[in-house]
Structure 1
Amino acid sequence: MTTFVSVNSQTIVRGVIRDAVSQQPLQSVSIYFKGGKGVTSSSDGSYMLATENTRLTVVQFSYVGYKTVSKTLIPNKEQVIDILLEVSDAKSNVVVKTNKRGKYSNKNNPAVELIRQVIDNKDKNRISAYDYVSYEQYEKMEVLLTKTPEKLLNNKFLKNFKFVFQNNDTTKIQGRAMLPVYINEISSQKYYRKNPEKKTTYIIAEKEVNFGEYLDVKGINSYLERMYEDVDVYQNNISLLSNQFLSPIADMAPTFYRFYIADTTEVDGVELVRLNFAPRNLNDLLFKGTLFVTLDGNYSVQKLVMSISKHANLNFVRELHVNQDFEKGQDGRFHLALSNTIVEFALAESAKTGIVGERTVSFKSFTINQPQADSIYKGDAVVRIGSQNAASDTFWQAHRSPPLSEAEVKVYSNIDSLTHLKSFKTFMDVATLLMAGYKSFGGYEVGPVNSFYSFNPVEGLRTRIGGRTTPRFNRNIYLENYVAYGFKDQKWKYYGAVAYSFNHSSIYAYPLNYLKLGYQRDTKIPGQELQFVVEDNFLLSFKRGNNDRWLYNSIFKTEYVREFGKDFGYTLGFKNWKQTPAGIISYLKPDGSSLVNVPNLTTTELSAEFTWAPHRQFYQGKRFRIPIINKYPIFKFRFITGIKGLVKGEYNYQNLNLTIDKRLMLSQLGFADVKLEGGNIFGKVPYPLMTVHRANQTYSYQLESYNLMNFLEFVSDHYAAFSIDQHFNGFFLNKIPLLKKLKWREVASAKVLYGGVRDENNPDLNLSTIKFPVDKQTGLPTTYSLNKSPYIEVSVGVSNILKLLRIDFVKRLTYLDHPEVTEWGIRTRVKFDF
């Protein structure tokens, strides 16, 4: 006998829907309570529908071309009902037959003519067609494991975690048990105004699974939001998984899609056409599926069911499905009522275990053309008016649509219990060491391990040990330190810093608000400011050419960092820097007819840096934040002034720098990352204080550097730079037989640098300043200013090799007469992409 469990006094029905004759499962069947909301069946015909309203007892099954079936349920019970749908009477259903295997053409194709009508009427079916819109939105983001390996369940190290692995959910896909491990729920109120255009979201309540200090849950949620963006079929491009998919009703859809009319029917007095679509090229980032289009003159979308081809040029994606239901509004037009996006990830198609991410968004109380007070409309902003995890269970039961399954409800308490287990904390400590490079000892963590050993020509073998405190040590005060030793130069290096957090949280996590003081004595390659890695990273020890231009630095630095919201931040700083040349570098200055050695330079600087990054997102790592790139630009402006006489500062100067980063989304042509940068130094300064342009002598391809430029090859006191990194996402290779099976993707880049040195700072014209370095054996210069010609390098390559490797052929086009120049090279980069 089958036993059913009542969850929160809900009426629950589930089952599988099949064709009565062929016994094949039917996808996208509408299942709804008569007088209430509903869902659609999955690709395997399975469904699950629930309600807490005891008055809703009749559930209906409706599908275009089939007879509608009604079933009466027992309230507050869970029931399994499998349905066989029969084809409806031909008198009420007109079937338009199309030979799908024949030669396809847009010309004289009624399906293409219909889709052009839908395209022409897109504007009046969008929210922007109304002057005012408001609605309530419920959003659920969930991550599940598709199968837990038996070996993992029986592992003795995980025996204490079995209660988590036993919380399987069978409501997602019929016949498959999945393990929910993360849930985030948001209840919000949305307001839209057309003129002036503003769209404001008020978050009323939010609830999410919390893994404590071991995982950045906010960062995970930001990453998932970027992966699972809102699906708006009326936009030309739909952003999912950090890629752009051409909408089936995009302006250019008839060029890339095939369309077929399946049949027509009438639902609730509205005549509909079921329109099937599929990509012309199965490897392109396009959808296949079905559109239900109204024939009421508005040509609205009434239902959308689509997925991707298994041949699409995506990595680690086994399945991707998007189901959307639209409902008729007050004015007779259709607006979105329910959107569900589900993606299954796996390392390989044959892998037994995978990860499913599901985002469900439901909309209700959709109201049009009812203006609110001006204070409601705060621009394209998100305003939180409710505390996180503070809403009661009663609130969520009233606002969840659809309700949670029993397994989803239980995951909150399971993860909370898990994070309090000593064995789990030990397990996460080991995982953190392996993945992030840090080992925690109470309130202090040692790392990163990849910097414990490195080597370079100046220091020879270099060892380093250090770490930093965590909020477990103190929520306001943070310490950081390391010591290093070079066995060739036989010198100790060290660093120590103390920071005070004004918002009583980690100084490495958003939003930053801290004051930090630090002193460092260490080596550095001139011009190298690596944002995400340190120079003594072991992998960066391997370099091409001569890596013999170094500095010994003694730096005292104070900075105040503050971020406002996610868009704006600034840093105010004080820096006293004593630099001593090392390696083959010597600071030589004319003195009469001879050159004298300048043992070191000391500067004292005040600085201010401002960053404006609209809608920026990031994942918080142990040591740095990984930006989640979106379509919005990032602006950074930096001002530095050197003050002579202050703490032994030797020069007066001002340095201005501006950078603009922007990702251009180019639909079927992929995307391009564009960077504009410019700077100017006012005042008389020697070349070590100028801009030393970023060079790369490693064998990796670095996006921010010039990959065939030598260290300290070019300096400027004014410059402008442009770079572009174009990813075609397989647009060309997808169309080449055999090659398209490899799912390789084309990349191309170009970097152009203009610059120069004014006469007053040019050592060939100003004999009172430090000379450019020369090779001690040949006497030829090794450092130059940019003349009238720019420095240019370009590259072409292939990415997604083995789903993680990018290989570029890089060519340097200018200044080929410089010594030790490499005109071309092969560079690699490792990166996981979807």
Structure 2
Amino acid sequence: MGKKGLLTIGVLLWQFTVCAQKTLTGNVRDHHSEEPVPFASFQFKHTNTGFIADSAGSFHFSATQWPSDTLVITNVGYETKEIPLRQGTDSLKILLEPRTYDNGVVVKTKINMGLYIWKNIVKHKPYNDRFRHFDNFYYEIYNKMELDLKNLKSIQKITNIKPFRPMNELINRNIDTTEGVKFLPTYLTESISDYYYQKKPLRRREEIKAYNTNGINNASMVKFLGGMDQVINVYNDFINVFNRQFISPLSSSGNFYYKYALSDTQRIGYQKFYHLVFTPKNKGSNTFEGDCWVAAGSFAIQKMSLRLDKSADVNFLDRLSLIQEYKKINDSTWFIAKDKFVADFSPAGKQVPGIIARKTTTYQNALVNDSSVTNVLKQNKKIEEIIVKTGSGDKQAGYWDSARHEGLTTNEVNIMNMMDTVLNSPTYKKITKQIAFLGSGLFNIGNVQLGSAYNWFSGNGWEGFRMRFDVASNVHFDKKLWWHTYLAYGFSDKKFKGEAEVFYLPKKEPKRQYWYLGYKNDLDFGQTYFGEISNDNIFAFAIRKPNIPLKYINLEQAQFEFFNELGKGFSFLTNVSRKTYRPLKNLVPADSFRMGYNGLTGSEITVKFRYAFQEKFIESNFFRSSLGSRYPIVEASVTRGISGFLGGNYNYTKVLASVSHILKIPPLGVINYQVYTGKTFGTVPYMFLNVAPGNELYYYNRYAFNMMNRYEFINDRFAGINFEHNIGNGIFKLFPKLKFRQLYTVKALWGTLSDANKSLNFKEGHNFQSLDGKTYMEVGTGIDNILRFFRVDFVWRVLPRSSIKTSTAHFGVFGSVRLNF
């Protein structure tokens, strides 16, 4: 046979071999986070043949014939998975189910290599942590958050009811089953921003240049979509998860809380990586389990995976995955490239809809130690600023297609389309109004808001059955002006009461300013706080303490207020008011005082200064609620009462000052304290003095003395402290399934009353007391997070032991509702 014939036969044999060869490709991902699982091991069952996925979880394997018909996939921290190879299979998408890391990963050697690697990571943190190593840096952030509904049976039952049927087809069309579990992609928001950081002097700035919130137009919420408040830094000693501090596996004291093991060593190109696995030493502690890939030499993190399951001390959580990836931006520096956060919540078991929250953040175009960063930060008027650029919420689809760091998945595109349909659906609008009404008792009609319905009907010992009706403007009336009024009527005293107020907000940013004018004539129920129960509420009927005389006083007040932020955390408020008090029952009556036949009137001018450095807020259209500050908040005020001014009858001066702080001390929990003091100069009736806040309900009030009655102690000079330490699970760590949390409280008041004020106020039949320099103290302990919502406090009145009336019990049990993670 000639050479040509041999060559022809060789080519035909090669073609036959290639054609007969089978190829298998695909990728391996975490079933929960959907992130790639690097270096997963594949083995054909009952054989010694196998292969390994690469660092991105991808694999490629070729053979003329499969060694067996079943492929076994394993990886540390995941359940072993077996996949049958059917005829024609050439591509696989494999989802591995996370499991608890076990001791099987530990390789016994003379040197604990896991501990050795951890020590070197900690040693190199000053170099690898971007917030410590660089003088300044910049990157562009793309943030994407998706909310999905799971446990859909109850939703599908509801949508079969006639009023909700229009939603049924839309929901069924969008249910996803690709992960084996039904879930409904429900909401998606995304933003793109430029982030600037400077270490010394500290400055941070984020410019949000595009956002898409799909129907939520709250400006303060938009600011939380960026990267300023969502930074998770695995190099920190503690990692914040839903406002609870968890110990990072890279903590400087991590060896007290974690066991470390070297699971594997791999080489990618010229770089060697260690696979470090960590598990908690004690179950029930605020720790993660997970693994990370560590670059040899620099000991920088290349990829970190953290997990929590339902045993973690986080309410409603089924499981959580947190992944961070780092990439090299030069020959030696690893820089953050991607965050992914996935959390499953089931508030009330599998029979009620739950939520899957997914947040993905990518970082591009990083600059480090660059003068352009400091030039931008020179624009800052505050240490930390978030700027929402004009027009950033109006970007069109074409912009997003080119600006996103990564394209949308099919699910995410479907969400966009579904949200547009749902938000304009009359059924959806009706349902959201009903839910809002149930939560707040408020509902809108055109440009006005009615309610709260929870104040429509109530009652007390003076008015008997009471009705109240509120009307207020809403944002459709005016963007800067808000008004509110209510009318109430008591069927026993047969008197109308009411209030009218106007709030004008000319400026919200960068320095807030407002004007307020109000008039009120009603029973004075005392100051109430968010989350507390007032006496003017239907729920107050059933929780009053027995055998305590009901005290009623009418307050007629007209006031004007001006508030202005000065910058750098400083603000001031000026208030001019005229108050007339008319005691009604079980209080010293007005006619006991020389000028009190028509009520006791005081006209005041108050100036109040406040310092709250880097305080954060959540804002509505007109009002805002403080989220606190990392630093103590200081307040000081001076009030001058002027006789003859606006009909006032008394001259006096009141000085008040306080310091309050929420101090996180992980892993020992959270301390909440307030220290305050004050003095009244002058001789005045009791309502113009300091009346110590008492509580006559069985509902715990964190701002009041719960074993003290209202109007029990009055002072013209006083100092006090409120202290609460939430320890976390504490002794309940022994019973982790309960998820109870332990706390203790201390409240103390030191006060005195001048002889002149005693002579004026201690009239016949009075029930007032003075501490006369003694200390009043309550101590308590409690159990929080009972059934995830309830708190029980056990409170003892321990001081003073003598020289005061003993009409109040020395021990009490109080309940309250607290919603937190």
TM-score, structure 1 length as denominator?
0.81
Residue aligned with 2:711, SS: coil
Aligned partner of 1:801 in structure 2 is: 786
Deviation at 1:16, TM superposition (A): 7.1
Residue aligned with 1:784, SS: coil
Q: Which digits, 9 at most, give the CA deviation of each residue in 1:613-635, with x for residues without a partner?
A: 44444555799755445644434
CA 1:135–1:444 in 2, change beyond 3 Å: closer, same or farther?
Answer: closer
Residue aligned with 2:584, SS: strand
Deviation at 1:206, TM superposition (A): 2.0
Superposition map of 1:207-226 within 5 A: 207-211=212-216, 217-218=218-219
Q: Is 2:136 the partner of 1:126?
A: no
Q: Which digits, 9 at most, give the CA deviation of each residue in 1:725-769, with x for residues without a partner?
A: 1112213311x2xx332121111111122232345x5324xxxxx
Aligned partner of 1:35 in structure 2 is: none
Q: Distance in 1 between matches of 2:228 and 2:308?
A: 15
User: Are 2:267 and 2:273, in contact at CA under 8 Å, matched by a contact in 1?
Assistant: yes
Q: AA paired with 1:280?
A: K
Q: Is 2:305 the partner of 1:315?
A: no
User: Are 2:309 and 2:318, in contact at CA under 8 Å, matched by a contact in 1?
Assistant: no
Identity rate, percent? 23
Q: Which digits, 9 at most, give the CA deviation of each residue in 1:777-799, with x for residues without a partner?
A: xxxx5212332222111111111
Q: Which digits, 9 at most, give the CA deviation of each residue in 1:188-236, with x for residues without a partner?
A: 2222223223222222222211157xxxx45666788899832211001
Aligned partner of 1:669 in structure 2 is: 668
CA 1:618–1:773 in 2, change beyond 3 Å: closer, same or farther?
Answer: farther
User: Are 2:193 and 2:226, in contact at CA under 8 Å, matched by a contact in 1?
Assistant: no
Q: Is 2:400 the partner of 1:396?
A: yes
Aligned partner of 2:584 in structure 1 is: 582
Residue aligned with 1:733, SS: helix
| Matched residue count | 746
Q: Is 2:204 the partner of 1:199?
A: yes
Question: In terms of mean alpha carbon deviation, does 666-675 or 465-474 score higher?
Answer: 465-474
CA 1:366–1:806 in 2, change beyond 3 Å: closer, same or farther?
Answer: same
Deviation at 1:332, TM superposition (A): 0.8
Residue aligned with 1:516, SS: strand
Q: Which digits, 9 at most, give the CA deviation of each residue in 1:218-256, with x for residues without a partner?
A: 566678889983221100110011111110011121111
User: Are 1:106 and 1:254, in contact at CA under 8 Å, matched by a contact in 2?
Assistant: no
Aligned partner of 1:681 in structure 2 is: 680
Aligned partner of 1:340 in structure 2 is: 340
Aligned partner of 1:731 in structure 2 is: 730
Q: Is 2:275 the partner of 1:274?
A: yes
User: Are 1:679 and 1:719, in contact at CA under 8 Å, matched by a contact in 2?
Assistant: yes
CA 1:348–1:109 in 2, change beyond 3 Å: closer, same or farther?
Answer: farther
Q: Distance in 2 between matches of 1:614 and 1:699?
A: 36
Aligned partner of 1:328 in structure 2 is: 328
Q: 1:748 aligns with which of 736, 744, 747?
A: 744
Q: Distance in 2 between matches of 1:673 and 1:412?
A: 42
Q: Distance in 1 between matches of 2:484 and 2:652?
A: 31
Aligned partner of 2:17 in structure 1 is: none
Q: Is 2:376 the partner of 1:376?
A: yes
CA 1:283–1:83 in 2, change beyond 3 Å: closer, same or farther?
Answer: same
Q: Which digits, 9 at most, give the CA deviation of each residue in 1:279-321, with x for residues without a partner?
A: 122222211110111221x211111012113322221111100
Aligned partner of 2:458 in structure 1 is: 454
CA 1:484–1:67 in 2, change beyond 3 Å: closer, same or farther?
Answer: closer
Q: Which digits, 9 at most, give the CA deviation of each residue in 1:528-550, with x for residues without a partner?
A: 45456653112234321424222
Aligned partner of 2:183 in structure 1 is: 178
Aligned partner of 1:284 in structure 2 is: 285
TM-score, structure 2 length as denominator?
0.82
RMSD: 3.8
User: Which structure would you say has the larger Rg?
Assistant: 2
Aligned partner of 2:694 in structure 1 is: 695
Q: AA paired with 2:167?
A: F
CA 1:84–1:523 in 2, change beyond 3 Å: closer, same or farther?
Answer: closer
Residue aligned with 2:302, SS: strand
Aligned partner of 1:718 in structure 2 is: 717
Q: AA paired with 1:762?
A: N
CA 1:773–1:118 in 2, change beyond 3 Å: closer, same or farther?
Answer: farther
Aligned partner of 1:168 in structure 2 is: 174
User: Are 1:28 and 1:42, in contact at CA under 8 Å, matched by a contact in 2?
Assistant: no
User: Are 1:16 and 1:174, in contact at CA under 8 Å, matched by a contact in 2?
Assistant: no
User: Are 1:343 and 1:358, in contact at CA under 8 Å, matched by a contact in 2?
Assistant: yes
Aligned partner of 1:538 in structure 2 is: 538
Q: Is 2:770 the partner of 1:771?
A: no
Superposition map of 1:293-308 within 5 A: 293-296=294-297, 298-308=298-308
Deviation at 1:514, TM superposition (A): 4.2
User: Are 1:513 and 1:563, in contact at CA under 8 Å, matched by a contact in 2?
Assistant: yes
User: Are 2:458 and 2:536, in contact at CA under 8 Å, matched by a contact in 1?
Assistant: yes
Residue aligned with 2:649, SS: coil
Deviation at 1:832, TM superposition (A): 1.9
CA 1:140–1:616 in 2, change beyond 3 Å: closer, same or farther?
Answer: farther
Q: 2:54 aligns with which of 56, 62, 76?
A: 62
Q: Distance in 2 between matches of 1:701 and 1:145?
A: 35
CA 1:223–1:697 in 2, change beyond 3 Å: closer, same or farther?
Answer: farther
Residue aligned with 1:332, SS: coil
CA 1:123–1:82 in 2, change beyond 3 Å: closer, same or farther?
Answer: same
Q: AA paired with 2:250?
A: I
Aligned partner of 1:156 in structure 2 is: 162
Q: Distance in 1 between matches of 2:352 and 2:406?
A: 29
CA 1:232–1:693 in 2, change beyond 3 Å: closer, same or farther?
Answer: same
Q: Distance in 1 between matches of 2:487 and 2:522?
A: 9
Residue aligned with 1:114, SS: helix
Deviation at 1:693, TM superposition (A): 1.6
User: Are 1:773 and 1:782, in contact at CA under 8 Å, matched by a contact in 2?
Assistant: no
User: Are 1:581 and 1:599, in contact at CA under 8 Å, matched by a contact in 2?
Assistant: no
Aligned partner of 2:46 in structure 1 is: none
Aligned partner of 1:762 in structure 2 is: 757
User: Are 1:589 and 1:771, in contact at CA under 8 Å, matched by a contact in 2?
Assistant: no
Q: 1:114 aligns with which of 89, 93, 117?
A: 117
Deviation at 1:773, TM superposition (A): 5.3
Q: Is 2:637 the partner of 1:641?
A: no
Q: Which digits, 9 at most, give the CA deviation of each residue in 1:674-716, with x for residues without a partner?
A: 2222223334433220121211111011111111111111222
Q: AA paired with 1:674?
A: Y
User: Are 2:610 and 2:636, in contact at CA under 8 Å, matched by a contact in 1?
Assistant: yes
Q: AA paired with 1:112?
A: L
Q: Distance in 1 between matches of 2:611 and 2:38?
A: 43
Aligned partner of 2:193 in structure 1 is: 188
Aligned partner of 2:4 in structure 1 is: none
Q: AA paired with 1:607?
A: T
Q: Distance in 2 between matches of 1:773 and 1:275?
A: 76
User: Are 2:151 and 2:350, in contact at CA under 8 Å, matched by a contact in 1?
Assistant: no
Q: Which digits, 9 at most, give the CA deviation of each residue in 1:85-135, with x for residues without a partner?
A: 99xxxxxxxxxxx99279999995331222122112211111121222222
Q: Distance in 2 between matches of 1:164 and 1:240?
A: 34
Residue aligned with 2:646, SS: helix
User: Are 1:167 and 1:407, in contact at CA under 8 Å, matched by a contact in 2?
Assistant: no
User: Are 2:324 and 2:336, in contact at CA under 8 Å, matched by a contact in 1?
Assistant: yes
Q: Distance in 1 between matches of 2:568 and 2:455?
A: 31
Q: 1:829 aligns with which of 804, 813, 816?
A: 816
Aligned partner of 2:422 in structure 1 is: 418
Aligned partner of 1:137 in structure 2 is: 141
Q: Is 2:457 the partner of 1:472?
A: no
Q: AA paired with 1:306?
A: L
Question: In terms of mean alpha carbon deviation, does 219-228 or 746-755 score higher?
Answer: 219-228
User: Are 2:511 and 2:565, in contact at CA under 8 Å, matched by a contact in 1?
Assistant: yes
